[in-house]
Structure 1
Amino acid sequence: MKLLVVFALVALSAAAPWSGYMSDEPDGVPTYQKQHDVNYVFYKIFERLRDNRLADKATSFNPVGDISMYKDGGVAVRHLMDELTHGRLLEKKHWAVATNKRHLEEAIMLFEVFMQCKDWNCVASNGAYFRERVNEEEFIYAAYHAIKHSPLTQHVVLPAMYEVKPHHFTKTQVIEEAYEAKEMRLRNIIFQNNFTGTPNDIEHRVAYYREDIGVGTHHLMIHLENPFWWKDTYGYHIDRKGENFFYAYHQLLNRYEAERISNYLPPLQELKLDEPLKEGFTPQTTYKFGPPFPIRNDDIHLHDVDKIGRIHEIVHMEDRIHDAIAHGYVEDEQGNKINIENDHGIDILGDIIQSSMYSPNRKYYGNLTTLAYTLLDHQTDPKNKYDTPPGVLAHLETLPRDPAAWRLHKRIDNIFREHIDSLPPYTKEQLVFPGITVADIQIQGNLETYFEEYKYDLINAFNDNTTQTEFYDIYATMPRLNHKEFTYKIKVQNNNGSPKKSVIRILAMPYRDGNGAIIPFDEGRWLAIEMDLFVKTLTPGDNEITRKSSEASITVPDVPTYKTLVEMTESRQTLEMYESATGIPNRLLLPKGNEEGVQFRLLVAVTDAQQDVNDESIITMNKYHHYGVRGVQPDKRPFGYPLDRRVPDEHIVDEVPNIKETMVKVYNHNIFIPIPHN
């Protein structure tokens, strides 16, 4: 039987606080109404609006009719309207990517309109109006960034991108079969969407990680939080933006390395610009309105790309950065030298390498990351002979699927390492938290991973002519990694005679590589995975800290399926746990094990919160993580501390009483848990 869900139409003027929803919004509009509008504006994004109220706004609203609703007096919206009325914007039903300069400019124009709105009526009205008139991909890009950063949408949950644009994640064959099922009015149907490639490719062993839709979502959220084009005039300064760019990618790479170890693969090798690229990639996906995503063959030589750039430009940019690291300073646009031989240096280098607006000299140091990924993506048609569309590397949510992306960022990560390894190691005195001793570390529960079947909604893959909001219960499924829950039991002694606020830092270092050889401590610390970071007050004497894996501050749960998100919104259920989507999926906290057990050094460091924490109010937050709160970073320490700097002698760690390590093993016994089928 067909399931029909009709969104409740709630007038803004009549809106009142709802159970489970925030009612202290800055403009007085309850989060329920905002979530309702967001759900509806992304529903069937390539078709007309289905919500009567928003549809009326789309036809009757005049964006420049009342410029008092904008903080800038209408400057941004007038600029966008001028581009629209003169036909200079990209048409609808056409691919668009942020690596295309003009596409990005158009998306930022709309983003700026949203950010200049004083209240939700302004946001919703402009959202409805421009949704029906601008390119869909550009609209999604602008709206997602605005929802993430606007003070008006701090409690709004973004629908999962793999359900807003399922074509980007789902094989063409699956989409076609699902569409046929929809046309035949079949319901409660599940189609299996397997990984690309075959076991004939050794790299296929880790396809489950690269093509995990949660990894793609995490990569998207990294950039939503820290867009390279961000300017402080949008509302606030993003603290340590460049360092965050480095560390978020560094952690993704380290987790990928751990997955490779568990599958007996060699370490990831950086991309060589003058050698053939061994790994090809066949996405097996097709644009909603357009051709298939392009295929890249194995063993291609990298070429210059017409109208984009040349390979030697990347080399020149890297040379300038290497020179800066060797000299210990960068130069700003006025020729002033900025010292980078300190804790802040990694932040400056991150801004430069990300091509951020925060870069002290964008003209000289260039746009390394953007250009490198764009050139790599266009290798399928470098001369633009065949009008080939962009590939998966051009989309933030699909970039991790391509094995070449990881090799390219390994190259970038090695530049960061060159700088970090040039800094002096920490001394024992710098590491010690006086009077604090970590006495014991125990793990309760099995450290065990397994695979499970996961389904996501294909509702936005279908076209239809109805004016109602329908969910057909047609899904795609994929295998994904998960782990059993476990608990840390950490015994800490406080010999200071008074309570001490502390930061508990838990990291895991791989002990052996894919061939079983022991990884030296200094190499292991560079491959360290952050497992948790939280604040705890230590009472005088013995303290036993119990911390569940489900409480990890660096992880987030999966956003509910589109249908569930709608149902929870309309029934006024709380969505608070899904608001902070910037973190690794909680099910990927533990890297995959194997039958023999993958060995890790589990390290616990207890540091002084009085010295480490920026904001007293952030100490009490449930989610104390390095992404910060509206640009404010809670942790003063370098990301990855105390394993961020080289450790020439591992015995110095043994001599620091507030740091302790233990050996653990992670297992995987080839267990697969399917979804129960009715």
Structure 2
Amino acid sequence: MMKALLLFVLVAAAAAWPSFDFESLEGYQGDDPSVPTLKKQEQVNKLLWKIYDNIKYPELKGYADSFNPVADTSMYSDGGKAVRRLDMEYKDHRLLEQHHWFSLFNARQRNESLMLFDVLMHCPKWDCFVKNAAYWRKKMNEGEFVYALYTAVIHNDVADGVLLPPLYEVTPHMFTNSEVIMQAYTAKMKHTPGKFKMSFTGTKKNKEQRVAYFGEDIGMNTHHVTWHMDFPFWWKDDYGYHLDRKGELFFWAHHQLTARFDSERLSNWLDPVDELHWDEPIVEGFAPHAMYKYGGEFPPRPDNVYFEDVDGVARVRDMLITETRIRDAIDHGYIVKKDGTKIDIMNDEGINILGNIVESSMYSPNIQYYGQLHNLAHIMLGRQGDPHGKYNMTPGVMEHFETATRDPSFFRLHKYMDNIFKKHKYSLPPYKREELEFPGIEVQSISVEGELRTYFEDYEFDLRNAVDSAEGIEEVELKAVVHRLNHREFSFVADVNNNNGGEVMSTFRIFMCPRYDNNELLFGAEKGHWYCIEMDKFWKKLSPGRNHVVRKSTESSVTVPDVPHFQTLIDKVESGGSFDMHEYERACGIPNRMLLPKGKWDGMEFALLLAVTDGSYDATHANPADTDHGGSHAHCSTHGDVYPDKRPMGYPIERRIDDRRIFDSVPNFKMNLVKVFHEEDEHHD
């Protein structure tokens, strides 16, 4: 086994594939659910390395060549129903061929990928899981396989503790421009290591280029695609559990992406993004400058294109009808279920139902009537370069969650849907004083320790999986260098008086809201609160009297650290011992280096708002201050569990504010003014 592995040699010793001998681990048995996490990690690494090549590792190659997935169906929790279905599709030659593009928005391709996901989800033991993964990796389209494996590792408890390598190092074509890919191929052919600078897609003639660093950030792309893996629109509770408040999470996570994008635009002297209109032109075109591994270039879209019907997908009038039905439901205050009964949405739960409807989730109570607004909109935007299939063009960037945020139309689309949600939120009454106050609690001050300062830095990621390999030929180091936003570390500092005479549990809710629009006009509370960005939410026990609370920016429940490099995971496995990287278990979350908006060189003013609310009422779990709830729970919930906060997401600023004096008069709320400074970088486009 180890001799065969030596064929896979990297340039430096640190880059060698792990050779730790797991077969000698005492007590290890292939069908034991207590398989060491290190062993599982090794196998997942090898399943995802060089995904377009044949498996070269003897153990997994043996499974791929000789395992019969339908020979013993007792290993599956469904008695083999899912695997027999997939096996029949394969034997009938109905599965998508390898070396072909894959899009989740293509219904047939998605169904094929979900067939494998279903098989893996019905594997209660790792032996079943890994043998099926290896077997079907050899048989199925690479994109379908990667998606199925990623989502199964996320959702199947048998893979607990396994970290998925960053997608931008597994399928680099989806995150890198064509020029860099071609440079990597040239370097590989010449057997010369290289680092290639990845520029953004436009030029300074395009004002949207000023904010390309946000939509094209590989960490932001990872957050977006991972969110949709954690909370997929196709999810059914038959897979094992219910995704709590999934529709509301769709609203809040995407609202926050849009609000953050608006703050970046204001940081760069641009107006907030305008919403998309089906009967008006798509003002901003987009040239992706990116290519598929197989299938050619991602298609561009010129400026000022009017929407056309997309053959076999949807007509423009269908989109308008769908929107009208949803808006009518908001005006009526109820949703009509498939059986004709009504669901009241004039309450805190209404946003969850609307989120499921707008996203086109399987949780929608009436898909036939309320349609598939979000999913079809992504396809409509992705196909406007070739709406009638005249040129047989590949799917556009909007038809992949990995690439969608690159296109400025993504934010126009989500501002459009955000305004539908806003219509619902504004149909609810403003919060009354008694719904906001926390008796006995007084926030004396909220401030920042350390300067709020952003800057750009260079970051490298691995391109070796972008190029083809040949057996016996050594790999060379190939890396892309990207310019990305970061900020200096800082802390939020609050002084809070607890006058209740005893310890109380509290919820700290921190927001930053831009103060001025692009014309330097002050945002009023009536409008400005919709542009607020959530910075953190956490629980804290308050002792009687004065409490001095310091919360580091690195602790934010909104953000996650960088996903460890693929090579880091390889090295970790090679080093042996235990495998515990708990801090990286979630890839869903805003990159922690992007917690702050860019700001301006001379300072951009924000209102810093702290609301301290009753944690004993808010929390869905006992002792909420004793856990991090999965790290990035604010936008990504706690994996496999209920959302930790009973309050509506965005509370207390997600409803309309008719009179700011109510907020000013509540002692458990406090506002301060802060500025975000940006260190100018002459290398930034």
Q: TM-score, normalised by structure 2?
A: 0.95
1:509 alignment partner AA: C
Deviation at 1:465, TM superposition (A): 1.5
2:390 alignment partner AA: K
Deviation at 1:11, TM superposition (A): 4.1
The verdict on how the C-alpha distance between 1:464 and 1:171 changes in structure 2, with shifts beyond 3 A counting, is same
Please tell me whether the aligned partners of residues 325 and 418 of structure 1 are also in contact (alpha carbons under 8 angstroms). Answer: yes
Q: Deviations over 1:73-120 (max 9, x none)?
A: 000000000000110000000011111110111011010000000101
- Distance in 1 between the 2:98 and 2:649 partners? 42
- Distance in 1 between the 2:623 and 2:122 partners? 28
Deviation at 1:330, TM superposition (A): 0.4
- Provide the secondary structure at the position in 2 that maps to 1:531: strand
Aligned partner of 1:6 among 13, 17, 21: 17
Please tell me whether the aligned partners of residues 9 and 53 of structure 1 are also in contact (alpha carbons under 8 angstroms). Answer: no
Please tell me whether the aligned partners of residues 471 and 563 of structure 1 are also in contact (alpha carbons under 8 angstroms). Answer: no
- Distance in 2 between the 1:380 and 1:591 partners? 32
Report which stretch shifted further, 7-16 or 87-96.
7-16
The verdict on how the C-alpha distance between 1:101 and 1:312 changes in structure 2, with shifts beyond 3 A counting, is same
- Distance in 1 between the 2:395 and 2:328 partners? 33
Deviation at 1:163, TM superposition (A): 0.9
2:643 aligned partner? 633
Please tell me whether the aligned partners of residues 615 and 634 of structure 1 are also in contact (alpha carbons under 8 angstroms). Answer: yes
- Distance in 1 between the 2:526 and 2:554 partners? 29
Q: Deviations over 1:642-671 (max 9, x none)?
A: 111111111110111111010000000214
2:664 alignment partner AA: D
Q: Deviations over 1:435-490 (max 9, x none)?
A: 0011111211110000000111001011111269x653210011000000011111
User: Which 5+ residue runs of structure 2 have no aligned equivalent?
Assistant: 1-9
- Distance in 2 between the 1:213 and 1:118 partners? 33
1:93 aligned partner? 99
Deviation at 1:624, TM superposition (A): 6.5
Q: Deviations over 1:14-49 (max 9, x none)?
A: 3679xxxxxxx9921121111111111110000111
1:131 aligned partner? 137
Deviation at 1:538, TM superposition (A): 0.2
2:517 alignment partner AA: D
What aligned pairs does 1:151-170 form with structure 2 within 5 A after superposition? 151-170=157-176
Q: Deviations over 1:292-340 (max 9, x none)?
A: 1111111111100111110111111111101100010001111111000
- Provide the secondary structure at the position in 1 that maps to 2:654: coil
- Distance in 1 between the 2:547 and 2:113 partners? 52
1:360 aligned partner? 365
Deviation at 1:575, TM superposition (A): 2.0
Please tell me whether the aligned partners of residues 534 and 624 of structure 1 are also in contact (alpha carbons under 8 angstroms). Answer: no
- Provide the secondary structure at the position in 2 that maps to 1:186: coil
2:232 alignment partner AA: P
2:663 aligned partner? 653
2:16 alignment partner AA: V
Deviation at 1:242, TM superposition (A): 0.2
Residue 376 (structure 2) pairs with residue 390 (structure 1): no
Sequence identity of aligned pairs in percent?
47
- Distance in 2 between the 1:163 and 1:16 partners? 34
Please tell me whether the aligned partners of residues 16 and 30 of structure 1 are also in contact (alpha carbons under 8 angstroms). Answer: no
1:203 aligned partner? 208
Deviation at 1:619, TM superposition (A): 4.1
1:648 alignment partner AA: D
2:520 alignment partner AA: G
- Provide the secondary structure at the position in 1 that maps to 2:219: helix
Deviation at 1:498, TM superposition (A): 0.6
1:22 aligned partner? none
- Distance in 2 between the 1:631 and 1:442 partners? 33
Deviation at 1:632, TM superposition (A): 1.4
The verdict on how the C-alpha distance between 1:467 and 1:64 changes in structure 2, with shifts beyond 3 A counting, is farther
Report which stretch shifted further, 639-648 or 616-625.
616-625
Please tell me whether the aligned partners of residues 560 and 632 of structure 2 are also in contact (alpha carbons under 8 angstroms). Answer: no
What aligned pairs does 1:39-438 form with structure 2 within 5 A after superposition? 39-187=45-193, 189-438=194-443
Deviation at 1:5, TM superposition (A): 0.9
The verdict on how the C-alpha distance between 1:142 and 1:617 changes in structure 2, with shifts beyond 3 A counting, is farther
- Distance in 1 between the 2:500 and 2:271 partners? 47
- Provide the secondary structure at the position in 1 that maps to 2:139: coil
Please tell me whether the aligned partners of residues 504 and 606 of structure 1 are also in contact (alpha carbons under 8 angstroms). Answer: yes
Q: Deviations over 1:260-295 (max 9, x none)?
A: 000010111001111121211111111111211111
- Provide the secondary structure at the position in 1 that maps to 2:612: strand
Deviation at 1:141, TM superposition (A): 1.1
2:488 aligned partner? 484
1:644 aligned partner? 654
1:179 alignment partner AA: Y
1:262 alignment partner AA: S
Please tell me whether the aligned partners of residues 454 and 678 of structure 2 are also in contact (alpha carbons under 8 angstroms). Answer: yes
Aligned partner of 2:541 among 537, 541, 561: 537
Please tell me whether the aligned partners of residues 17 and 570 of structure 2 are also in contact (alpha carbons under 8 angstroms). Answer: no
Q: CA RMSD in A?
A: 1.8
Q: Deviations over 1:591-628 (max 9, x none)?
A: 10111211111001111111111111654212262312
1:506 aligned partner? 510
- Provide the secondary structure at the position in 2 that maps to 1:491: strand
Deviation at 1:513, TM superposition (A): 1.3
The verdict on how the C-alpha distance between 1:12 and 1:615 changes in structure 2, with shifts beyond 3 A counting, is farther
- Provide the secondary structure at the position in 2 that maps to 1:261: helix
- Distance in 1 between the 2:36 and 2:128 partners? 15
Deviation at 1:393, TM superposition (A): 0.8
Please tell me whether the aligned partners of residues 71 and 117 of structure 1 are also in contact (alpha carbons under 8 angstroms). Answer: yes
- Distance in 1 between the 2:45 and 2:134 partners? 12
- Distance in 2 between the 1:217 and 1:565 partners? 17
Deviation at 1:10, TM superposition (A): 4.3
- Distance in 1 between the 2:23 and 2:299 partners? 45
1:625 alignment partner AA: H
- Distance in 2 between the 1:620 and 1:343 partners? 27
- Distance in 2 between the 1:574 and 1:625 partners? 20
Please tell me whether the aligned partners of residues 595 and 668 of structure 1 are also in contact (alpha carbons under 8 angstroms). Answer: yes
The verdict on how the C-alpha distance between 1:196 and 1:490 changes in structure 2, with shifts beyond 3 A counting, is same
Please tell me whether the aligned partners of residues 20 and 575 of structure 2 are also in contact (alpha carbons under 8 angstroms). Answer: no
Please tell me whether the aligned partners of residues 10 and 33 of structure 1 are also in contact (alpha carbons under 8 angstroms). Answer: no
Please tell me whether the aligned partners of residues 92 and 134 of structure 1 are also in contact (alpha carbons under 8 angstroms). Answer: yes
- Distance in 2 between the 1:15 and 1:525 partners? 58
- Distance in 1 between the 2:571 and 2:623 partners? 33
- Distance in 2 between the 1:477 and 1:666 partners? 26
Deviation at 1:68, TM superposition (A): 1.0
- Distance in 1 between the 2:120 and 2:26 partners? 22
- Distance in 2 between the 1:12 and 1:81 partners? 30
Aligned partner of 1:521 among 518, 525, 534: 525
1:20 aligned partner? none
Please tell me whether the aligned partners of residues 442 and 488 of structure 1 are also in contact (alpha carbons under 8 angstroms). Answer: yes
Please tell me whether the aligned partners of residues 328 and 341 of structure 1 are also in contact (alpha carbons under 8 angstroms). Answer: yes
Q: Count residues in correspondence.
A: 666
1:14 alignment partner AA: L
Please tell me whether the aligned partners of residues 46 and 93 of structure 1 are also in contact (alpha carbons under 8 angstroms). Answer: yes
- Distance in 2 between the 1:617 and 1:29 partners? 32
Deviation at 1:12, TM superposition (A): 6.0
Please tell me whether the aligned partners of residues 33 and 125 of structure 2 are also in contact (alpha carbons under 8 angstroms). Answer: yes
Q: TM-score, normalised by structure 1?
A: 0.96
Please tell me whether the aligned partners of residues 588 and 632 of structure 2 are also in contact (alpha carbons under 8 angstroms). Answer: no
- Distance in 1 between the 2:108 and 2:267 partners? 43
